[in-house]
Amino acid sequence: MKKTMRILAVMSLIVWGQLVHAQITAAPDRKEGQGPYKQLIIRGVTLINGTGAPPLGPVDIVIEQNKIQRIVTVGAEGNPIQSARRPVLAAGGQEIDATGLFALPGFIDMHAHIGGKEQGTPAEYVYKLWLAHGITTVRDPSTGNGLEWVLNEKKRSAANQIVAPRIFAYTAFGMGAKKPINTPSDAIEWVNENAKNGADGIKFFGAAPDIMEAAIKENKRLGLRSCAHHAQTDVARWNVVQSAKAGMTSMEHWYGLPEALFENKTIQDFPADYNYTNEQTRFEHAGKLWKQAAAPYSEKWNKVMNDLISMDFTLVPTFNIYDANRDLQRARRAEWHETYTLPSLWRFFAPSRNAHGSYWFNWGTEQEIEWKQNYRLWMTFINEYKNRGGRVTTGSDNGFIYQTYGFGFIRELELLREAGFHPLEVIRSATLYGAQALGIEKDLGTIEQGKLADIVLVNANPLKNLQVLYGTGAIELNAKGEAIRTGGVQYTIKDGIVYDAKLLLKQVKQIVDEAKTKENFKITQPGIE
Ligand SMILES: [Zn+2]
Rounded Cα distance, 311 and 314, in Å: 9
Angle, in degrees to the nearest 10, between helices 407-419 and 365-387 = 70
Distance separating alpha carbons of residues 384 and 420, to the nearest angstrom: 9
Report the alpha-carbon distance of residue 174 to residue 242 in Å, rounded.
Answer: 19
* pLDDT tops 70 at residue 12: no
Q: What is the pLDDT of residues 359-391, one digit of tens each?
A: 999 999 999 999 999 999 999 999 999 999 999
Q: Is the pTM of this model over 0.85?
A: yes
pLDDT at 5 exceeding the cut of 60? no
Segment (H or E) for 104: strand 102-105
Report how far ligand 1's centroid is from the alpha carbon of 28 (Å): 25
Please report the pLDDT score of residue 467 as a whole number: 98
Q: How many angstroms is it from 113 CA to the middle of ligand 1?
A: 7
Residues 6+ apart with CB under 8 A from 311: 244, 245
* Centre of ligand 1 from the C-alpha of residue 81, in Å: 47
Do the Cβ atoms of 128 and 163 come closer than 8 Å? Answer: yes
Query: Which of 13-17, 32-36, 421-425 has the weakest average pLDDT?
Result: 13-17
Q: Residues 221, 223, 228, CA angle at the centre, nearest 5°?
A: 90
Q: For the segment 419-431, what is each residue's pLDDT rounded down to a tens digit?
A: 999 999 999 999 9
Q: Could you read off the pLDDT of 113-129 as tens digits, one per residue?
A: 999 999 999 999 999 99
Q: What percent of the chain has pLDDT over 70?
A: 96
Dump pLDDT digits (tens) for 74-131.
999 999 999 999 999 999 999 999 999 999 999 999 999 999 999 999 999 999 999 9
Per-residue pLDDT at 10: 36
What is the CA(488)–ligand 1 centre distance, in A?
26
Do the Cβ atoms of 48 and 106 come closer than 8 Å? no
CA distances from 68 to 36, 430, 449, 478 (A): 12, 19, 5, 36
| Exposed e or buried b per residue across 148-172, where buried means at least 16 C-beta atoms within 10 angstroms of its C-beta | ebbbebbebbeebebbbbbbbbbbb
| pLDDT grade for 354, boundaries at 50, 70 and 90 | confident
Residue 104 near residue 458 (C-beta atoms within 8 A): yes
Distance from residue 141's CA to the centre of ligand 1 (Å): 6
**CA Rg value for the chain:** 23
- Residue 1 has a pLDDT of 37
With CA atoms as reference, report the closest residue to 327 among 417, 393, 411, 409: 411
Cα of 38 from ligand 1 centre, angstroms: 39
Distance 447 CA to ligand 1 centre (A): 29
| Average pLDDT over every residue of 29-38 | 97
Q: Closest by alpha carbon to 129, among 518, 458, 502?
A: 502
Q: Which residue has the higher pLDDT, 154 or 528?
A: 154
3 pLDDT more than 60: no
Span from the CA of 251 to the centroid of ligand 1 (angstroms): 11
Contact 125, 115 (CB under 8 A): yes
Which residue, among 240, 236, 191, has the nearest Cα to 211 in the 3D structure?
191
Is residue 247 classed as helix, strand or coil in its secondary structure? coil
**How far is 385 from 391, CA to CA, in rounded Å?**
7
List Cβ neighbours of 154 (8 Å cut-off, separation of 6 or more).
Answer: 166, 167, 168, 169
Residue pair 271/247 in contact by the 8 Å Cβ criterion = no
pLDDT tens profile 314-340: 999 999 999 999 999 999 999 999 999
Whether pLDDT at 197 is above 70: yes
Cα(276) to ligand 1 centroid in Å equals: 17
Pick from 279, 282, 286, 404: which is nearest to 352 by CA? 279
Q: Is the pLDDT of residue 470 over 70?
A: yes
Average pLDDT taken over every residue of the chain: 95
Band of residue 11 on the pLDDT scale cut at 50, 70, 90: very low
Q: What is the rounded average pLDDT of the residues 217-242?
A: 98
Q: Is the pLDDT of residue 234 over 60?
A: yes
State the average pLDDT over residues 279-286.
95
Return the SS3 of 490: strand
Q: Give the Å distances, CA to CA, from 416 to 17, 385, 486, 489.
A: 27, 12, 22, 20
Expressed in angstroms and rounded, the spacing between residue 405 Cα and the centre of ligand 1 is 12
Query: Is the confidence at residue 4, as pLDDT, over 60?
Result: no
- Predicted local distance difference test score (pLDDT) of residue 292: 98
pLDDT higher than 80, residue 13: no
Q: Write out the H or E segment, with its range, that includes residue 96.
A: strand 94-97
